[in-house]
Amino acid sequence: MSGGTRSYEMARRMVTWGHEVHMITSFREEGSGKSGWFTTEEAGIKVHWYPVPYSNHMGFSQRIKAFVAFALAARRKAIALDGDIIFATSTPLTIALPAVPASRKKKIPMVFEVRGLWPEMPIAVGALKKAMSELVVAVLDRLLPTNSIRELTQGIAPATVANPSSSSSIWSPHRGTESSSFSIDCRTH
């Protein structure tokens, strides 16, 4: 689950608290021969994988196509799964594309976690034009259901909340690090 440490740790804890957790994610291993959805169980989490070729070495349009392909497939999968809440978390705001329709269709609440300064970072590195990003953000903001909770990582909240336009609740919990995950005996390195 490359790049999904935070999602994995949160889901693992939900399982230990007695919840049934389904995670929808992409599978990016080139040459695996996999196509279509497949499911594994990781630490009690039912992980639904969708193979989508993706690499930072791809051109901008190729990456956009990969995001859209995943978003459409994830939307169908999220609608098909049973649940009583949707927790959508990813750095790009495009994770709302599969989560919002599933939340609306199933009439269940959604937590939308914003983990990065998006679109500010893609604009800063030249990966996204400011006008395009403003349009995307405006559309996504209007799509978010009013029953959603926007969870913003501390430090990101002031930049994101500066222009709130919906009636979603906004929450900025303190973030910590599971220090035991990074225990290294410095004497051996």
| 7: its two tokens | 């999602």
Name the domain count of the chain. 2
- Give domain status of residue 163, yes or no: no
Which residue carries 């799509």 as its tokens? 143
- Give domain status of residue 164, yes or no: no
* Structural domain for 55, as ranges: 1-67
- 7 close to 1: Cβ distance less than 8 angstroms: yes
Shared domain for 15 and 57, answered yes or no, is yes
pLDDT of residue 23: 94
Residues 108-138 pLDDT 10s: 988 877 666 666 666 677 766 666 666 766 6
- Give domain status of residue 42, yes or no: yes
Residue 38's H or E segment, with its range, is: strand 38-42
CA 49 to chain CA mean position, Å = 14
- Give domain status of residue 48, yes or no: yes
Shared domain for 141 and 90, answered yes or no, is yes
- Give domain status of residue 183, yes or no: no
Nearest CA among 2, 1, 21 for reference residue 10? 21
- Give domain status of residue 3, yes or no: yes
Cα(174)–Cα(60) distance, integer angstroms: 34
Shared domain for 119 and 87, answered yes or no, is yes
Measured over the CA atoms of residue 83, residue 87, residue 92 and residue 94, the dihedral's sign is: positive
Residue ranges in the chain whose pLDDT is less than 50: 151, 157-167, 174, 176-177, 179, 182, 184, 186, 189
Domain-terminating residue out of 67, 90, 125: 67
Shared domain for 5 and 54, answered yes or no, is yes
Shared domain for 6 and 62, answered yes or no, is yes
Nearest CA among 72, 59, 67 for reference residue 93? 67
Shared domain for 93 and 147, answered yes or no, is yes
| 125: its two tokens | 């590195």
Domain-terminating residue out of 22, 42, 67: 67
Helices (H) and strands (E) in the chain, counts: 6, 7
Shared domain for 88 and 57, answered yes or no, is no
- Give domain status of residue 178, yes or no: no
Residue 51's H or E segment, with its range, is: strand 45-51
Residues 71-80 pLDDT 10s: 999 999 999 9
Q: Are strands 38-42 and 45-51 parallel, antiparallel or unpaired?
A: antiparallel
- Give domain status of residue 31, yes or no: yes
Residue 148 CB partners (closer than 8 Å, separation 6+): 100, 103, 109, 110, 111, 112, 168, 169
| 38: its two tokens | 């497949």
User: Is the entire prediction scored with pTM above 0.85?
Assistant: no
